[in-house]
Structure 1
Amino acid sequence: MISLADLQRRIAAGELSADAAIAQSLAAIGAQDKTIGAFVCRADSVRAASAGPLRGIAVGIKDIMDTADFPTEMGSPIYRGHRPRGDAAVVMMLKQAGASIVGKTTTTAFASTDPTATLNPHNHGHTPGGSSSGSAAAVAAGMIPLALGTQTGGSVIRPASFCGVAAIKPSYRLLPTVGVKCYSWTLDTVGLFAAGVSDVAHGLAAMTGRPELLPQASVPTPRIGIVTQDFAGAPEASGGEALRIATRATERAGATARALELPEIVAEAWRVHPVLQEFEAHQALAWEYRENYDAMAPLIRGRLDESKGTLPAAYDEALRIARRARHALAQVFEDVDVLLTLSAPGAAPKGLGSTGDARYNRLWTLMGVPCVNIPAHVADGGLPVGVQVIARYSADAEALAAARFVEQALK
């Protein structure tokens, strides 16, 4: 994989030109993407920006985000050839930081569950996850140092786990979703994929202009609460092993780690996540569903069919439960600095018929808290399995610092 932080250092030191860094990424895409299929479209040549902390950094953009220079097709034939007039807010944030957009990465239809044809770079017989399939695979295959994705259920953290890359789903609304195709305005969150935790931190800091997100000279030792999310069902063997390995590594590195039970209202929030998600999806995708029903991908169409009878009263109650759960979760963080939990049930499923299960992700998306994936284990078939570090709402710097601690402990 390509380290974003290392590229920044080499460019700043004059060891590598910004244009040469981008050319290397374009060459890697040309060499590998015929097999992996991470990109929907890409540029043949790109010039580096003249300035900015991300000068020389090639970035892939999930294809539900508007781009003026590339089509935005949202994984659906309904939008084939669609050309937005402008860029999504997050794309402009990247450009203002000096990044170069080199292409659009594959997405499941409207960032839902219908799989793409993208392959897992570690084992081509397995899914890379979704819905940010192409972004995770492109970083994992060493094509680009940075990519954007989105998460409504588990679409950043889960593919990062399956592909063995670092990723952050930041606090809700740290990154704007203006110009990003909406599925659920209560849940949709823009996230980043990169080789390691420091790389993710450098990318997010540059985009947001928040230096506090950058890695510090020393890594503080966190108080860690281990959460298994029993209400979401038992993990597969490889998922459980990843959490055990990460827990033991942090304890050896000097952290305190203890098992935590989440309040019942938090478990209830996990149960109502789909109510919120699909009620809002019916409004966000009303035109596509009503006017282009036959052109919609089968799995998302089926989800909307099954949930179209949801009443506003059920949605309102789900919102109330979510508010109470967020308050209860905030109290949990009075006793620990971060939580450590599963990123996925296990390794990437075999075949391309499914993007995997988001059951260990959806709670944290609803809670709006920052989540960082760290690769922790390699299962049979060379398939990575990650764990995620979770901090209180708006404590993105603390989440990244603790994730870096876990990453270093695992090494």
Structure 2
Amino acid sequence: MTAYQDYKPLTFHDATQRFSDGSDTPRAFLERCLETIAAREPVVKALTAINEAGARTAADASTARWKQGKPLSPIDGMPLAIKDLLETKDMPTEMGCAAFKGNFPKRDNAAVWALRQAGAVILAKAVTAELGGSHPGASTNPFDPARTPGGSSSGSAAAVGANMVPAAIGTQVGGSIIRPAAYCGNFALKPTQGGINRGERQATSQSTHGPHAGSLEDMWQVAIEIAQRAGGDRGAVGLMGPSTLPASAKPNRLIVLETEGWPDVDAATKAGFEAVLKQLHDAGVTLIRRKDHPLVEALERSIANGRSVCNGVTSWENRWGQRGIVDNNPAGVSERAKATLAKAEAMTPDDYRAALLARQTAQQTHALMASLADAAITLACPGPAPLWSGDVPGQPLAPRPTGDFVFNAPSSMLFAPVVTVPLMSVDGMPVGVQLMGQQHEDARMTGLARWLSENVKRVATRA
């Protein structure tokens, strides 16, 4: 286990020059990843399947292309882990659920197909919380195995944080990309809704695919290579932006969002966030809080029940599919998932309509703020990853064993792009900060995040 203060992330973009001059190869890069997996996977438990033979074959083909000076893309040869909700033709897709044990469709999700077209090496499947919900998988936090890595993209975030791979694909409905990235020290992009083609994963109106990575360069490159080949969801324009990392852009004005999670944030995390904001203020960035402008107050009010809205929308949209799974294999679904399903089945169509109306109102309020600031900034999680040792027999189920998505619900319900930047640590554990923009400002948020990562020093606090 590496202490976070000594952590140096694994990156791929800076290896490609070595591939070109012959001092390194994609096959050698892959072998180093496999060595790290062998050393760390027994504790981190980030992966559900590893296709070593297929990865080596792909890495050898990539090595030949780089030697010939004909790589398919800047991520040709990059080893990647894929969240085990997404289908892969060469590894099972079991979705963290016993009911899907042995499920092997032998086809690729649209994003996985695009990554292979770009020459990426699809190395492994990453642990997901059951069915992408709240029931945890086996993964532990790469900086403290007693803590959760977050969910539901737990394995994706942990694999990157443990330097097993330079990047991984996660998914988010409420907070499943941004929160685990924040807990595991990753950069991550939760795109504008529909920005990356979800392929077969179309069941819910808020689901998105997005990359975790050890660097902004790798994060953006993975996202744009997928979008350039597979586009976005049906009816969506898809992720747009430059073919390489957007230029660094200093923000002039940032909205500081509290969200409904602020009252529950611990003092050390609040102090760390305020220290980040002070650096921004000292650099000449204007910070606009809810007390400073009525539109910010209006937005805060419109997202004040974000958790409830996200839960309501997603529960209603998942209820029929999950009922079918439970009916077909009741023993193969956790009690936590069954309890969530019971709440969904108690909803009425009017409950769903009310959640949709709240979401629409919040989106309209957010759109009114486009000219007020360059982005909104807030915490990406309520503090360091919580301790988690499992449910206690005979005791009520823990309501949020993978952590609280309260700071992630706003961007999900707003369909807004978010980039998480690892700018803080609390008690030696990573805590992320996020930048949220208007819809389709993914590239702009990445440029702002680049400036933050280059100009804001990481803040460390202790309780």
Taking structure 2 as the reference length, the TM-score comes to 0.84
CA deviation string 1:269-309 (max 9, x = no partner): 55422211111110232311332233211211111112311
- Contact 1:4–1:194 (8 Å) recurs in 2: no
CA deviation string 1:127-158 (max 9, x = no partner): 11111111101000111001001111111110
Aligned residue in 1 for 2:437: 391
Aligned residue in 1 for 2:412: 365
Aligned residue in 1 for 2:113: 92
Change beyond 3 A, Cα 1:126–1:268: closer
> Structure 2: how far apart are the matches of 1:215 and 1:258?
28
The one of 238, 250, 271 aligned to 2:280: 250
The one of 169, 172, 188 aligned to 2:207: 188
* SS at structure 1 position matched to 2:368: helix
Change beyond 3 A, Cα 1:244–1:129: same
What is the letter of the counterpart of residue 182 of structure 2?
S
What is the letter of the counterpart of residue 212 of structure 1?
P
Aligned residue in 1 for 2:356: 319
What is the letter of the counterpart of residue 188 of structure 1?
S
Question: Given the alignment of the two structures, is residue 207 of structure 1 paired with residue 207 of structure 2, yes or no?
Answer: no
* SS at structure 2 position matched to 1:228: coil
> Structure 2: how far apart are the matches of 1:399 and 1:213?
15
What is the letter of the counterpart of residue 276 of structure 2?
A
Question: How far did 1:312 drift?
Answer: 0.8
Of the structure 1 ranges 36-45 and 135-144, higher mean CA displacement relative to structure 2 is found in 36-45
Question: How far did 1:96 drift?
Answer: 1.1
> Structure 1: how far apart are the matches of 2:272 and 2:337?
31
Aligned residue in 2 for 1:296: 333
Of the structure 1 ranges 370-379 and 100-109, higher mean CA displacement relative to structure 2 is found in 370-379
Of the structure 1 ranges 14-23 and 234-243, higher mean CA displacement relative to structure 2 is found in 234-243
> Structure 2: how far apart are the matches of 1:324 and 1:14?
55
Question: How far did 1:256 drift?
Answer: 2.1
* SS at structure 2 position matched to 1:190: strand
The one of 243, 258, 281 aligned to 1:228: 258
- Contact 1:224–1:337 (8 Å) recurs in 2: yes
The one of 346, 355, 372 aligned to 2:402: 355
> Structure 2: how far apart are the matches of 1:335 and 1:328?
12
Aligned residue in 1 for 2:424: 377
What is the letter of the counterpart of residue 336 of structure 1?
A
Aligned residue in 1 for 2:236: none
Question: How far did 1:81 drift?
Answer: 1.0
Percent identity over paired residues: 29
Aligned residue in 1 for 2:126: 105
Question: Given the alignment of the two structures, is residue 52 of structure 1 paired with residue 68 of structure 2, yes or no?
Answer: no
Change beyond 3 A, Cα 1:110–1:216: closer
Change beyond 3 A, Cα 1:91–1:137: same
Question: How far did 1:246 drift?
Answer: 2.2
- Contact 1:67–1:88 (8 Å) recurs in 2: yes
> Structure 1: how far apart are the matches of 2:437 and 2:326?
37
> Structure 2: how far apart are the matches of 1:213 and 1:323?
32
> Structure 2: how far apart are the matches of 1:300 and 1:244?
37
Aligned residue in 2 for 1:40: 48
Aligned residue in 2 for 1:75: 96
Of the structure 1 ranges 106-115 and 310-319, higher mean CA displacement relative to structure 2 is found in 310-319
Question: Given the alignment of the two structures, is residue 29 of structure 1 paired with residue 75 of structure 2, yes or no?
Answer: no
- Contact 1:107–1:130 (8 Å) recurs in 2: yes
Question: How far did 1:359 drift?
Answer: 1.1
What is the letter of the counterpart of residue 251 of structure 2?
T
> Structure 2: how far apart are the matches of 1:14 and 1:244?
46
* SS at structure 2 position matched to 1:212: coil
CA deviation string 1:184-214 (max 9, x = no partner): 5111111110012232112212222355263
Question: Given the alignment of the two structures, is residue 407 of structure 1 paired with residue 453 of structure 2, yes or no?
Answer: yes
* Residues matched between the structures, number: 408
Change beyond 3 A, Cα 1:104–1:340: same
* SS at structure 1 position matched to 2:119: coil
Change beyond 3 A, Cα 1:2–1:231: closer
Change beyond 3 A, Cα 1:316–1:14: same
What is the letter of the counterpart of residue 28 of structure 2?
A
CA deviation string 1:84-120 (max 9, x = no partner): 1310001011111110100101011001111122111
> Structure 2: how far apart are the matches of 1:255 and 1:10?
38
- Contact 2:260–2:406 (8 Å) recurs in 1: no
* SS at structure 2 position matched to 1:332: coil
Question: How far did 1:341 drift?
Answer: 0.6
- Contact 2:246–2:444 (8 Å) recurs in 1: no
Question: Given the alignment of the two structures, is residue 8 of structure 1 paired with residue 16 of structure 2, yes or no?
Answer: yes
> Structure 2: how far apart are the matches of 1:33 and 1:320?
44
Question: How far did 1:378 drift?
Answer: 1.4
> Structure 2: how far apart are the matches of 1:369 and 1:392?
6
Change beyond 3 A, Cα 1:42–1:335: same
> Structure 1: how far apart are the matches of 2:138 and 2:122?
22
Question: How far did 1:259 drift?
Answer: 1.4
- Contact 1:75–1:108 (8 Å) recurs in 2: yes
> Map of 1:264-283 to 2, 5 A cutoff?
264-268=301-305, 271-283=308-320
- Contact 2:187–2:214 (8 Å) recurs in 1: yes
- Contact 1:269–1:318 (8 Å) recurs in 2: no
Aligned residue in 2 for 1:259: 289
Aligned residue in 1 for 2:178: 157
- Contact 1:115–1:352 (8 Å) recurs in 2: no
> Structure 1: how far apart are the matches of 2:307 and 2:297?
11
Question: How far did 1:262 drift?
Answer: 4.0
What is the letter of the counterpart of residue 22 of structure 1?
L
Aligned residue in 2 for 1:307: 344
- Flag as ranges the 4+ runs of structure 1 deviating above 6 A: none
